[in-house]
Amino acid sequence: MKRKGIGFYLRIYRKILAQDIKSKMSYRADFIISTIGMICTNISGFVGFWIMFRNFPSINGWSYHEMLFLYGFSLISLTPVQCLFDNNWSLRMYVYSGDFIKYCFRPINLFFYYQSEVFDIKGLGQLAFGIGTLAYSWGKIGIGFSPLILLKLIVFLITASLIMIALQNAAAATCFWIQNSFFVLDLVFRFKDYAKYPVTIFSPVFRFIFTFLMPIAFIAYYPSLVILRPDEIPLLSWLSPVIGLIFFYISYKIWMHGAMKYSGTGS
């Protein structure tokens, strides 16, 4: 069979996306309520920062606006997993019911076919809030701007998002082997809340965990230092794009390995 290229998958995804958005927009009230809920959730996080910094002018050398920068950076980098990989939350139900078998007979990549079925449009509200927060803190900190800085920002945001995508892919794929896999996925998802904080405020034990075992420090902290503190960039910040790609590739292989071993209800 002839191998299909990126152009083929982009055309397919555009058609699937159009149909998914049409179906969601037919329930506009649900879309509006969900979007407002997402924005309110992010506003509550913003208010939390504001209340905390009313009592503490800085936390371990990090100012209010620097923390806001991390918060905005994390919201933007988490948007792809929210919008493009939300179907991972339904994977266990498809596997246990036996309905996942329908994805195994299409002449396209199984991972692509399954993930492309759902686009969580309310994640765009999170993206807008993240961009606004990042822009506000950027101006307050007084970071310079140039085409090179913009390129760095885009590259490190994209590669940072691969970490959370990888964690969710791997956690969701446990349903191919573990019956109560929801708890694994939920636990991994909850860890994302720590991504908006600099890893240096945690104890050495948690710094190690958040860097090497559950690498949420690469969702915002390490990649954002390239823009936020260009005079003191650690090696791990420069390596974050490579680390993001490696983790995503590993998670993809885990997901596909489980999917290829799937044989219907009771697998």
Question: pLDDT value at position 210?
Answer: 94
3-state helix, strand, coil in the chain (%, to 5): 80, 0, 20
Q: Are 12 and 108 in contact (CB under 8 A)?
A: yes
Instruction: Indicate whether 232 belongs to any domain.
Output: yes
Is the pLDDT at 78 greater than 60, yes or no? Answer: yes
Distance CA 68, CA 109 (A): 39
**267, part of any domain:** no
Q: Is residue 234 part of a domain?
A: yes
Domain membership of residue 97 (yes or no) is: yes
Q: State the pairing for strand pair 62-63/58-59.
A: antiparallel
pLDDT of residue 1: 46
**What is the rounded CA–CA span in Å between residue 170 and residue 6?**
23
- Rounded to the nearest 10°, the torsion over CA 166, 168, 219, 17 is 90
Helix (H, G, I), strand (E, B) or coil at 63: strand
Can you tell me whether residue 58 is helix, strand or coil? strand
76, amino acid identity: I
Q: Is residue 266 domain-resident?
A: no
Distance CA 105, CA 110 (A): 9
What is the per-residue burial (b if ≥16 Cβ within 10 Å, else e) of 208-226?
A: ebbbeeebbbbbbbbbbbb
Residue 145 sits at the vertex; the CA angle it makes with 68 and 140, to the nearest 5 degrees, is: 35
Residue 210 lies in a domain: yes
Q: How far apart are CA 262 and CA 257, in angstroms?
A: 9
Give the closest residue to 79 by CA, choosing from 22, 13, 132, 28: 132
119-170 confidence digits (pLDDT tens)? 988 888 889 889 999 999 999 999 988 999 999 999 999 999 999 999 999 9
What is the number of domains present in the chain? 1
When comparing pLDDT for 135 and 23, which is higher?
135
**Per-residue pLDDT, 161:** 96
pLDDT digit string, tens, across residues 81-128: 999 999 999 999 999 999 999 898 888 899 999 999 989 888 888 898
Contacts of 252 (CB under 8 A, 6+ apart): 111, 169
Enter the tokens of residue 173. Answer: 């794929």
For residue 242, the one-letter residue type is V
Alpha helix segments (H runs only) across 142-234: 147-173, 182-190, 204-208, 221-228
Domain of 237? 6-261
Is residue 1 assigned to a domain?
Answer: no
Contact 174, 90 (CB under 8 A): no
Rg (CA), the chain: 20
pLDDT at 2 over 70: no
Whether 132 maps to a domain, the answer reads yes
d(CA 220, CA 26) in angstroms, rounded, equals 35
pLDDT for 264: 64
Read off the pLDDT of each residue in 169-195 and give the average, rounded to a whole number: 92
- Of the candidates 239, 254, 190, 217, the one whose C-alpha atom is nearest the C-alpha of residue 77 is 217
Percent with pLDDT over 70 in the chain: 97
Q: Is the pLDDT of residue 185 over 90?
A: yes
